């Protein structure tokens, strides 16, 4: 990789997201592997001392999507013209709402892991970078998930409560709700991608950047109903093999553990369950996001439904672990539950090796985006 024409010391603002730590760890690992000789992760306290004496050369600040406290405002004020980078796990409407469209917000570098968010932000004048989410630090050795079960932990809500903040009511509400079910069914049958469904909803309801727009809420409903339909099909086919977590599933009549489960506990399950189910995220069409990275980081038995229809470029996931219809998904799960353990583990190990390399590539790409942005600000 060519060096950008400036050196960068990236200081990380306080955050609560464990994904921020994963991203920063990946940047550090990529640097150690020679991604960029002029880039380093700086400790925040020395960076603040540097700022307090007016030394800003080479310094940049990294904030998370949730960085909106008085402390962060004070940090931005102290930093002055120091380049700001912000990580987003949100769709474009949430980014626009949380950033407020302020000139100083638009001037920063907005790093997103979703292609459609990147396109929407750049169309509105934001400086943005897109990198696929491949950041969970892998374990030293691949796990051996041999327990013959299907693990899935995720929220679910198929009610119409998501439309409460919109102007929909009565027959109009029922029509939009029914349309969401139609689109979710079409995606499970492979007749439509989630991207196409999103476009149709935009045409029908009007595209709106508001966080509570009818279009955005309808797409949220489609994703939940898609999730419900696929899990229902898995339950009907494999019964007690499915281990579900979240009280929403229990409320809908599924056999599920209603208790809370941490990310670390999820990753431990990924390391033991023969099948770790992924049926798409709730904020984007992307097939690479934290859940998928978490499964790959332990060489888990990933089986992935692709709502977008096609895999993302550069994905470490093997084609024989990806499905475009509900029937394909059931066939893949059955193969993993019945195949010899050695064959399953060999596939997991191949994805694990691919993931380790792709993670460093993602870190290098993000370093290049940050250093290039900082060069334009120097």
- The answer to whether the beta carbons of residues 358 and 292 sit under 8 Å apart is no
**Quick count: other Cβ atoms within 10 Å of Cβ 124?**
14
DSSP 193-212: -HHHHHHHHHHHH-----TT
Helix axes 341-377, 18-32, angle to 10 degrees: 80
| pLDDT of 2 | 43
Average pLDDT per block of 10 residues along the chain, 378 residues long: 65 92 96 86 88 84 83 80 90 83 72 94 91 96 94 96 91 96 98 96 82 89 98 96 96 93 95 97 93 98 96 94 98 97 96 98 96 88
Structure pTM? 0.93
Q: Which letter does DSSP use for residue 311 in this model? A: P
- Structurally, at CATH architecture level, domain 8-130+359-377 sits in 3-Layer(aba) Sandwich (3.40)
Output the CA torsion sign for 345, 346, 347, 350: positive
Q: Which residues contact 151 (CB under 8 A, 6 or more apart)?
A: 243, 269, 270, 273, 275, 276, 277
For residues 313, 118, 76 and 377, what is the CA-based torsion angle, rounded to 10 degrees? 80
| pLDDT of 228 | 98
Report the Cα 242 to chain-centroid distance in Å.
23
Report the Cα 154 to chain-centroid distance in Å.
13
| pLDDT of 51 | 82
| pLDDT of 66 | 76
Domain regions of the chain by residue span: 8-130+359-377, 147-338
| pLDDT of 3 | 45
Q: Which letter, b or e, does each residue of 262-291 get, where b requires 16 or more Cβ atoms within 10 Å of its Cβ?
A: eeeebbebbbbbbbbbbbbbebbbbbbbbb
Closest CA to 268 of 289, 244, 245, 294: 294
Report the Cα 210 to chain-centroid distance in Å.
21
């Amino acid at each position: 990789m060519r060096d950008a024409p400036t050196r960068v010391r990236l200081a990380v603002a306080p955050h609560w997201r464990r994904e921020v730590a994963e991203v920063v760890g990946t940047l550090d690992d990529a640097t150690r592997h020679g991604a960029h000789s002029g880039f380093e992760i700086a400790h925040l306290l020395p960076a603040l001392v540097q700022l307090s004496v007016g030394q800003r050369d080479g310094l940049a600040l990294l904030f998370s999507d949730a960085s909106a406290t008085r402390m962060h405002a004070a940090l931005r004020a102290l930093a002055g013209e120091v380049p700001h980078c912000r990580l987003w796990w949100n769709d474009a409407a949430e980014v626009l709402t949380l950033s407020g469209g302020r000139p100083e917000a638009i001037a920063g570098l907005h790093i997103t892991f979703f292609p459609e968010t990147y396109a929407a932000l750049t169309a509105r004048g934001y400086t943005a970078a897109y990198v696929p989410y491949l950041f969970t630090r892998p374990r030293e050795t691949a796990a051996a998930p041999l327990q013959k079960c299907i693990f899935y932990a995720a929220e679910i809500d198929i009610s119409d409560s998501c439309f409460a903040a919109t102007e929909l009511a009565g027959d109009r509400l029922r029509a939009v709700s029914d349309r969401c079910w139609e689109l979710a069914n079409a995606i499970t049958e492979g007749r439509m991608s989630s991207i196409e469904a999103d476009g149709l909803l935009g045409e029908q309801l009007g595209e709106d950047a508001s966080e509570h727009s009818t279009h955005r809420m309808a797409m949220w409903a489609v994703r939940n109903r898609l999730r419900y339909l696929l899990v229902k099909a898995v339950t009907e086919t494999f019964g007690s093999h499915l281990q579900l977590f979240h009280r929403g599933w229990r409320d809908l009549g599924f056999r599920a553990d209603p208790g809370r489960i941490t990310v670390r506990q999820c990753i431990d399950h990924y390391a033991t369950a023969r099948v770790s189910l992924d049926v798409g995220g709730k904020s984007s069409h992307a097939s690479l996001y934290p859940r998928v990275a978490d499964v790959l980081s332990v060489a888990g038995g990933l089986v992935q439904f692709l709502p977008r229809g096609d895999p993302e470029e550069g994905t470490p996931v093997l084609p024989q672990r990806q499905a475009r219809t509900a029937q394909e998904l059931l066939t893949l799960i059955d193969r993993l539950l019945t195949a010899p353990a050695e064959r399953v583990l060999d596939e997991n190990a191949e994805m694990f090796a691919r993931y380790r390399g792709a993670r460093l590539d993602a870190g290098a790409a993000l370093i290049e985006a940050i250093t290039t942005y900082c060069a334009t600000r120097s």
